Amino acid sequence: MRIELERRAGASGLFAIVSPLLALALTLIFGAIMFWMLGKNPGHALYSFFIEPLLEVWSLHELAIKAAPLILIAVGLAVCYRSNNWNIGAEGQFTIGAITGSILPILVPQWHSVLVLPLMLIMGAIGGAVFAAIPALLKTRFNTNEILVSLMLVYIAQLFLDWLVRGLWRDPKGFNFPQSISFSTEAVLPEILSSGRAHWGIVFALVAAVAIWFMMRFMLKGFEVSVLGRSERAGRFAGFSGRRMVWFSMMLSGALAGLAGISEVSGSIGHLQPSISPGYGFTAIIVAFLGRLNPLGIIASGFVLALTYLGGEAAQLSIGVSDKVTRVFQGLLLFFVLSCDTLILYRVRVIFGAGRAPAARS
């Protein structure tokens, strides 16, 4: 007996939809096994992980806050990945965006104007884009691998932020805590509803997702992304430039990550500090794939992954497991998503005996 993967004649439409759901189900099953091995009641644990956070208004607001950066970053990454450019450094671009966006409220806190906030957002996006331009430059000029370069730049960005808030930008009246001065009210991204903390970040995320979806679906630019991602040679034949696509996709995703960074700092933290992200930039990779690299799918998957963050916090309190459980869940999910995706293009056949399979008659 052996197991054979047989290529389907075409991509299976059914499995394109079923695959993420199947991955979710498998994640839950293996999560339950994990809780059981930790000596917890799996049913209770999964309930407090995935259901409890959805039952209260304040935690729905938290869900939106956490989903916003995930969706913003992931739609940018989707463009990158569709064009076959592997930006793994969104976490770094997020961090740099937060830093460049914070220049105005930290260095000129006395400037009070309605212009402050829009300028901050623009500067954050530009900062992220410029930081993502570094791997683009190195790739187009020296043919370096953007995966390694962008990943390594994450640590540079994080240490740079650390150095800033412990040195140059430390609040002089902050009792030596490593953090910047708090942003003035003009520099804070306002809340959408009076019922909770959710700020405009989630609106940016939804607008960006719909805009990118429109681009990929209806615009020549989106077509260019898809063609170059599938075959650079065919792209060249079409007159598209693979080199320019590296710049475009990296800087677009960098800008969106930067915007997510400054939105997060301005909307939910209110100052700079050494740690401003629980790994949004990396988790967004999972969001992008779970959403099938489709911006509308990413909106849904962004909320799912945001839930794993909330659930992790909740589970820490209510059942007393480490918040590392969040990471385990995210890892399981990515693993199952990628493996279930195989089923879209292949079917699994179990073959008994010596090479004679029950034939599928038409």
Partner 1 sequence: MTDVEAPATGSLLKIQGLTKYFGTFAACSGIDLAIQPGEIHALLGENGAGKSTLVKMLFGVLQPSEGRILWDGRPVSIGSPGEARQLGIGMVFQHFSLFEALTVAENIALSMDPKIPLAKIAEEAASLSKAYGLPLDPNAHVADLSVGERQRIEIVRALLQNPKLIILDEPTSVLTPQEADKLFETLFKLRSEGRSVLYISHRLEEVQRICDRATVLRHGKVTGACDPKGETPASLARMMVGSDVASVHREAAANLGDVLIDVVNLSVPARTPFAVTLREIGLQVRAGEVMAIAGVAGNGQGELFDALSGEYPVADAEAIRLRGKPVGRTGINGRRLLGAGFVPEERHGHAAVSDMSLSDNLLLSRSQSDRAAFLTGGFAAIIRHDVIRSAAKRICQVMDVRKSGEDPAAGSLSGGNLQKFIIGRELDRQPSVLVVNQPTWGVDAGAASRIRQSLIDLARAGSAVIVISQDLDEIFEVATNIAVISEGRLSKPYPAAELTLERIGLLMGGIHDSTGHAGSPTAPHAGGVHAH
Q: State in angstroms the smallest separation of the CB of 230 from partner 1.
A: 5
User: Distance of alpha carbon 78 from its chain centroid, rounded?
Assistant: 9
Of 33 and 219, which has the nearer Cβ to partner 1? 219
CB within 8 Å of 148: residues ≥ 6 apart: none
> What tokens does 204 get?
């940016």
Of 185 and 231, which has the nearer Cβ to partner 1? 231
Q: State in angstroms the smallest separation of the CB of 241 from partner 1.
A: 9
Which residues of this protein are in contact with partner 1, per CB under 8 A?
Answer: 4, 6-11, 218-221, 223, 226-227, 230-231, 233-234, 236-239, 347, 351, 354-357, 359-362
Q: State in angstroms the smallest separation of the CB of 355 from partner 1.
A: 4
CB 316 within 8 A of CB 338: no
Of 36 and 237, which has the nearer Cβ to partner 1? 237
Q: State in angstroms the smallest separation of the CB of 248 from partner 1.
A: 14
Distance CA 260, CA 268 (A): 11
Of 44 and 349, which has the nearer Cβ to partner 1? 349
Give SS3 for 178. Answer: coil
Of 245 and 269, which has the nearer Cβ to partner 1? 245
Q: State in angstroms the smallest separation of the CB of 325 from partner 1.
A: 38
Q: In 38-167, which residue ranges form alpha helices assigned H by DSSP?
A: 42-46, 57-82, 90-101, 103-107, 116-142, 146-166
CB 243 within 8 A of CB 140: yes
Length, in residues, of the chain: 362
Of 84 and 179, which has the nearer Cβ to partner 1? 84
Give SS3 for 113. Answer: coil
Bin 308: left if φ > 0, else alpha if -120 < ψ < 50, else beta: alpha
Which DSSP category does 143 fall into?
-
Q: State in angstroms the smallest separation of the CB of 254 from partner 1.
A: 22
